[in-house]
Chain A
């Protein structure tokens, strides 16, 4: 089975699903969502099957490799493959899509073309997400990176809230600006590389002897795009708008998966292709990351819109992820990779549960709630668990990754780590304050008779909470695949972990 084109298959299944859903005959139009769910589940099954074949001890950087010449004149190949980091992100995406389809079940109630378009766009997006994480050709990565914007743009713009036009355009323009700047770097990188008909392969571009100035400029081109995508302060402003105007399921895919492309790109491209420039830029990036952590958390505390609040928590969390990546210690970078997965699940739960609340109350404003745990206790409980995962409670998933990030950062940048730790305290403030305002207090009269979680909604949150607990107590399978990939990346950068002052700390870092 080693030659089976796993990644192409996983990527094609949702694409086929999208076409089927989009062009359903009228007689089957009322089955659109079931069919969409079916295709996303099949994609998930294939993903799991592929993940089980992944060999942890392999000495290749990428597994499941496929390579075909695509545009030979430009040096472009259709080349895919995954390392541990890409694999866990693909698995996360494959889990989140069916969850989101299920969560979006009644987003477009009227049966017909509009509903079909909605689900077809989500499936197309899944194809692009899998493509972007599995591309091992820089050009191919760029193609997915940009093409991904279009379905999201339509998902926000056609199906979002009242200011959806503004949010969709802002999202697209920010992303396009970053992407186009990166395009120049992509082009230049090819010309500094060995060239030829497969000159865009990551393997061929790794370890180039770049001159200082062009190397740094190209690094900045890539980093700019990824920083917008991630998003980091000060180019984060599109995220709160996009997240609050999008449907919750879209917001999940956007913040939970798409934004990971930014941080994933930093590991795969910034660190691996431009080691010298990465080290050169690290101090500035650490500062920006710490600002993101604190700034995102402070603004989250101040929000009165639930969706914006969650979006700002993500800005803070992305700050942690970037911090861990550029700490360039095995603990920090591995923590970041794990954080990406955890953040995906946590944000998904927060957005989706908030979406369920908004659906019931008809408002995104936190002051419009209060005392809801007396009306919908299960919903409140689920919301609390998601929130606790967001504030990195020990025993839930985020704790381990956040801890690893801070630990890894502390080994090299003590001040930054200490300041970033404040982010954890602020996190409990924004989560618990939100919970307190929305859920505790006297029973609201207006909300009387509001139904608690339906069966469908329980199926939406169950996998996410299961993920919290599994990754919270037993993250080893994920870390086992992440660690070799991180080690290899750090080897490309040419850094080694600083010698720990206390042996137990060093040992804890790798676990």
Chain B
């Protein structure tokens, strides 16, 4: 009990340091490297400021202030990440480890979050963020909702909420022990549960998404915690480094180790939407406000893969012969099921959800390389996929039928004729998802498959390319719809976005192109950032 408390706070400096018993002997004040944890501090502070803005800023100015504060905070965090390069190492008594992958992923999350914030800030012709409602519990257009707006409810609290989630995401891949990881998991999840339920239109779907995400998320958290407890029982510590050491020395307690690893992995695989823990993904992606979906698809995935990498590579890689077969099965299932199920979808957001599942499978093949190259390929993939997917969802939010998003595929027919630029950008992103050369998607796929082939996972690479071929059919079908079909009706059109969405989409598309043509600098950075510190 005492040990787990000390693990919980992390500040007493006792976690696991006193060996396998984990019992504290005397109080030692831990040293905190504020330079190292500055990126997260900046984000959390910005989120707090956002809460204060919500409380004190006049309603008419809140939108502008909130968006500015959020973007400035993210910019500051990016600066802090760069400064943090000189502050690598374990801090907060091992609760947080700032190393190459952590910094790389934090930088990625910050940049992708900034693009997401831009997409969330889209107002079109309204006064507030277009995608969100002021009161998630009411029915759209109801008297109840109108009353809430009259009473002063606004939609601007989505920005601090998103920032809290970002803070959790940044801590997730930097967590040095399982409890910190759990806390990060909850910090990133809770705001997402709320954000998912705030869609302005099609409220029931949104509420369903929120509830489903929350319930299943709670289950997966429980799995994670239970696994952590078993691992604690095995190693006497929550610290990943200590667990790794114990795997080398401890024998005869595999009954705790293997189930512990598997249960923790279940919790983590849930977050990336790996099959068979994926069932929430399509519903939540479909129901959540589209910019939030983009945010989840990009940033959550980055954070969760970061946590998986750290948990596996720092913590339990030593025992991998006991459980890789399971992870292989998950990777294969994820790739195949994601690609095959995407074929049957008729809703663009659900389709992209299944596509994101398939992509999670591709990334897993890189994880399963169990090598430095695998880490760097995963890092690269996450960046490439993040930029493309945020831009894709931002475009989805622009295609409207009579004000509401036109998410049914049939509504996209003939878009290329009326809106060549929007359809062209989307088609390009789809080609990137399909992994056509000269897009980031190809470079990323090449990186993970190459890592897999080089380290004995050729079978995964073969399954991967076959799934890619299946998935390509899905993407190609949308291009057929947009370009080779006659428009279904006059009412569907792409709304002209504001500067915010334009910037988000442009950066996403440009990065997709740039990482396809000149990926060397980022590959280099990923390679240099691929060393985990224990």
Q: Identify whether the interface residues of A are mostly helix, strand, loop, or mixed.
A: helix
Give per-residue flags for A122-152: 1 if the beta carbon is below 8 A from chain B beta carbons, else 0: 0000000000000000000011101101100
Find residues 70-90 in chain A having any chain B CB closer than 8 Å to their own CB: 70-74
B485 to chain A, nearest CB (A): 7
Q: Which residues of B contact A511 (CB under 8 A)?
A: none
User: Is B146's beta carbon under 8 Å from chain A?
Assistant: no
State whether A71 touches B472 (Cβ < 8 A).
no
Tell me the complex Cα distance, A149–B462, Å.
21
Contacting pair A184 B523 (CB below 8 A): no
Q: Which residue of B lies closest to A143 (CB)?
A: B437
A189 to chain B: closest residue by CB? B453
Q: Assess whether B532 is interfacial by the CB under 8 Å rule.
A: no
Q: Which residues of B contact A142 (CB under 8 A)?
A: 437
CB distance from B478 to the nearest CB of A (A): 11
Contact between B480 and A169, CB atoms less than 8 A apart: yes
Complex-state Cα separation, A184 to B464, whole angstroms: 9
- In the assembled complex, the Cα of A470 lies from the Cα of B431 at a distance in Å of 43
Bits for B424-452, please: 1 = Cβ < 8 Å to A, else 0.
Answer: 00000001001111100011001101100
List the A side residues contacting B462 at CB < 8 Å.
181, 184
Encoded as 1 (CB less than 8 Å from any B CB) or 0, chain A from 361 to 385 comes to 0000000000000000000000000
Taken together as a complex, chains A and B put the C-alpha atoms of A177 and B454 apart, in Å, by 22
Interface-facing stretch out of A54-62, A157-165, A419-427, A492-500? A157-165
CA distance in complex: A187, B431 (Å): 21
Q: How far is the CA of A5 from the CA of B486 in the complex (A)?
A: 45
A458 located at the interface, meaning its Cβ lies under 8 Å from any Cβ of chain B in the complex:
no
A residues near B520, Cβ cutoff 8 Å: 70-73
In the complex with contacts A173-B476, A183-B449, A183-B465, A168-B484 CB distance below 8 A: yes
Q: Are A143 and B450 in contact (CB under 8 A)?
A: no
Smallest CB gap from A72: residue in B? B520
Q: Is B348 an interface residue (CB 8 A)?
A: no
Q: Mark B16-31, 1 if CB is under 8 A from A, else 0.
A: 0000000000000000
Contact A184 B465 (CB under 8 A): yes
Q: Which residues of chain B are within 8 angstroms of A158 by Cβ–Cβ distance?
A: 483-484
Chain A interface size range: 20 to 34
Q: Is the CB of B450 within 8 A of A74?
A: yes
- The closest CB in chain B to the CB of A73 belongs to B523
Minimal beta-carbon separation of B404 from chain A (angstroms):
28
- Nearest CB of chain A from residue B466's CB, rounded to whole Å: 7
Which residues of A sit under 8 angstroms from B437, Cβ to Cβ?
142-144, 146-147
Residues from chain B with a CB closer than 8 A to the CB of A176 are 434, 468-469, 472
- Tell yes or no: A359 within 8 A of B by CB: no
Most B CB within 10 A of own CB, among A74, A153, A177, A180: A180
Cα distance, A72 to B524, chains bound together (Å): 9
B328: chain A residues within 8 A (beta carbon): none
Whether A169 and B436, one on each chain, are in contact in the complex, defined by CB atoms closer than 8 angstroms, is: no
Contact call B519/A71, Cβ cutoff below 8 A: yes
Contact partners of A414 in chain B: CB under 8 A: none
Contact among B420, B450, B480, B523 with A165 in the assembled complex (CB-CB below 8 Å): B480
In the complex the two chains form, is B461's CB within 8 Å of A165's CB?
Answer: no
Contact between B485 and A165, CB atoms less than 8 A apart: yes
Complex interface: chain B residues within 8 A of A190 (CB) = 450
Cβ-based interface call for A443 (8 A):
no
A157 touches B465 (CB 8 A): no
Complex contacts, A113 vs chain B, CB 8 Å: 420
Task: Give chain A nearest CB distance to B215 CB in angstroms.
Answer: 38
B477 contacts the other chain (CB 8 A):
yes
Cβ distance A495 to chain B, nearest Cβ, rounded Å? 30
Q: In the complex, which residues of chain A have a beta carbon less than 8 angstroms from the beta carbon of B485?
A: 165
Contacting residues, chain A, for B435 (C-beta < 8 A): 180
Given contacts A158-B483, A165-B485, A168-B484, contact A146 B469 (CB under 8 A): no
**CA A169 – CA B476 in complex, angstroms?**
7
Residues of B within 8 A of A153 (CB): 476, 479
Q: Are the CB atoms of A187 and B449 closer together than 8 Å?
A: yes
Any A CB within 8 A of the CB of B398: no
* Bitwise interface map of A from 165 to 185 toward B, beta carbon under 8 Å scored 1, else 0: 100110011001100110110
- Max count, chain A CB within 10 A of own CB: residue among B438, B461, B465, B473: B465
A415 close to chain B: CB less than 8 A: no
Q: CB of B199 within 8 A of chain A?
A: no
Judging by beta carbons under 8 Å apart, are A181 and B484 in contact? Answer: no
* Contact yes or no, B484 A184, CB < 8 A: no
Q: Which residue of A lies closest to B516 (CB)?
A: A143
For residue B458, CB closer than 8 A to chain A, the reply is yes
A23 at interface, CB cutoff 8 A? no
Task: Other than A73-B527, A146-B436, A190-B450, give 19 A-B pairs with Cβ distance below 8 A.
Answer: A70-B520, A71-B523, A73-B523, A74-B446, A74-B447, A146-B442, A147-B437, A149-B436, A154-B483, A157-B479, A164-B484, A169-B476, A169-B480, A173-B472, A173-B476, A180-B466, A180-B468, A187-B449, A191-B450
Could you jot down 24 A-B contacts, CB within 8 Å?
A: A70-B520, A71-B443, A71-B520, A71-B523, A73-B524, A73-B527, A143-B442, A144-B437, A146-B436, A146-B437, A157-B479, A164-B484, A169-B476, A173-B473, A176-B434, A177-B466, A180-B466, A180-B468, A181-B462, A183-B446, A184-B449, A187-B446, A187-B453, A191-B453
